[in-house]
Chains A and B, each alone.
Chain A
Amino acid sequence: MVNHESLNCQEVWHEISNYVDGEVGASLRSRMDEHFPTCPHCASMLAGTRNIVQLYGDERMLEVPAGFSQRLEKRLERKLKPEAGEKRFWKAVSRSSPWSSWSAWLIPVAAIALFVGTLALVDTLTFKFPAKSVMAELGNNIPPDMLVVVSDGSKVFHVAGCRFIHDKATQRTITAKQAMLDGYVPCSRCMRKYLKASRSGQSAFDSARADEEEDQEEILSTAGN
């Protein structure tokens, strides 16, 4: 082992890594530069260290398992594609669409307002049939051509022979359609089978109201008889 007055081998070994990296000061570098040609051991150390740095620093040392790149690409694709696709879609929409400006919405808004206004006007000018009673609405399932009996003093129509006909003396036969147009409601006794289906869709309030009218009619009918 060579001993140098200015720099010994231990000092060289201690700094050899920094020397290879260019991390030593100018003065120390100069002394090491002088040392290496005179010391075969330190020169060998330097060559070996440089070889290590060079060999391991080579890209070929970074081996990846077979199929690594494909798997990585697939995973990135899976994670990034939906998000990328969605963003691209919205970007394309906002770029290509004329609706991005607020002023562009004025025309369709005006058109909708005009349409709604026209509908309101037509509605106002059109003749409307008088509203039918709640009970009349319940006769929807009664065949329109069915012959029913009505009488004075009651707005209820019946099938012929119903014992709840209000005033048998004034009874007359008309079609169910006509009866309902005239504001008559079906008798909840003799027309029961037609009313069941209709009532099922009515509210409890309507149902109660019909029952109330029915009871009232029954009382009147009984009183008349």
Chain B
Amino acid sequence: MSGPHVALNNSEQSSDTRERYLISCVQSGQHELFYELVRPYERRVYAAAFTILRNEHDAEDAAQEAMLKAFKSIQQFRAEARFSTWLIQITVNESLMRRRRERTVVMEPMDNRRDAAGSGEDSEYAPRDFADWREIPSEALERKEVRQRLAEALGTLDRKYREVFVMRDMEHLNIQETAEALGISVASVKTRLLRARLMLRDLLAAGWKQGWFSRVPFEKGAKPW
């Protein structure tokens, strides 16, 4: 094993140890350490809430409420689960509950709604674009414009695809955890994830050729899969 890998593993191990230590401290009454425990996950918590609620103010409120609920339930947390996963699941539950309660009507782009309605999840997919993607470096994310393009593309996906994609690829929950968090089957998670990834790939590949990820929605009436 090379040096950097060892360092990374040690760092991850020490981070896990510290997290376990903080959890036991908070569970035994040192409540002031709770923020230190959740601070590394605040972005992920917000992102999970935003994915479901699609509104900055609601997402922030839901994220804060989820943190407080996590605090109240900290005694129930068991070490066999990942703390981050547990926290994200609480956030997803809180956000879904709010959406149900407030009967939020999320306006989806017409094209995507038609795509979702007009095709079963199991139907075959045909890619629309075969642009060479190997050129995109992760350094591109330093540019706010690029991040914005990516966020816009994600925002055009139908809710069911977007939620699975965010839980799996942005929140890094595994397939089983994603299924549990969203209350759907493992098979649905896999199918929706495939769709979400390929739709995003198509959206961004077209943009890549025309410039910096300009959004190109699917043509009206076309069913790429």
Closest beta carbon of chain B to A77's beta carbon, Å: 7
A55 interfacial by beta-carbon distance below 8 Å? yes
Report the bound CA distance from A45 to B202 in whole Å: 9
A55 touches B141 (CB 8 A): yes
Among residues of A, the one whose C-beta sits closest to the C-beta of B63 is A72
Secondary structure of the A contact surface, majority rule: helix
B147: chain A residues within 8 A (beta carbon): 60-61, 63
Report the bound CA distance from A80 to B204 in whole Å: 44
A53: chain B residues within 8 A (beta carbon): 169, 197
Contact partner, A49, options B29, B38, B60, B201, Cβ 8 Å: B201
A102 interfacial by beta-carbon distance below 8 Å? no
Given contacts A41-B127, A49-B198, A55-B136, whether A68 and B31 have CB atoms under 8 Å apart is: no
A122: chain B residues within 8 A (beta carbon): none
Given contacts A14-B125, A44-B133, A68-B60, whether A79 and B68 have CB atoms under 8 Å apart is: yes
B83: chain A residues within 8 A (beta carbon): none
Report the bound CA distance from A73 to B35 in whole Å: 7
B67 interfacial by beta-carbon distance below 8 Å? yes
Contact partner, A18, options B32, B134, B190, Cβ 8 Å: B190
Among residues of B, the one whose C-beta sits closest to the C-beta of A17 is B194
Among residues of B, the one whose C-beta sits closest to the C-beta of A16 is B194
A51 touches B170 (CB 8 A): no
Contact partner, B29, options A18, A45, A65, A91, Cβ 8 Å: A91
A54 touches B56 (CB 8 A): no
Task: Give 1 or 0 for each of B23-56: 1 = CB within 8 Å of chain A CB.
Answer: 0000001111011001100111011000000001
B126: chain A residues within 8 A (beta carbon): 10, 13
A58: chain B residues within 8 A (beta carbon): 138, 141
B residues 124-151 in Cβ contact with A at 8 Å: 124-127, 130-134, 136, 138, 140-142, 147, 150-151
Between-chain CB contacts (< 8 Å), 15 pairs: A14-B124, A16-B198, A54-B138, A55-B140, A61-B151, A62-B43, A64-B43, A65-B60, A72-B35, A72-B63, A76-B35, A79-B71, A84-B29, A84-B32, A87-B29
Interface residues of A (CB under 8 A from B): 10, 13-14, 16-18, 20-21, 23, 40-41, 44-45, 47-65, 68-69, 71-73, 75-77, 79-81, 83-84, 87-88, 91
Closest 6 CB pairs of A and B: A84-B31, A17-B194, A62-B43, A48-B133, A48-B201, A47-B133
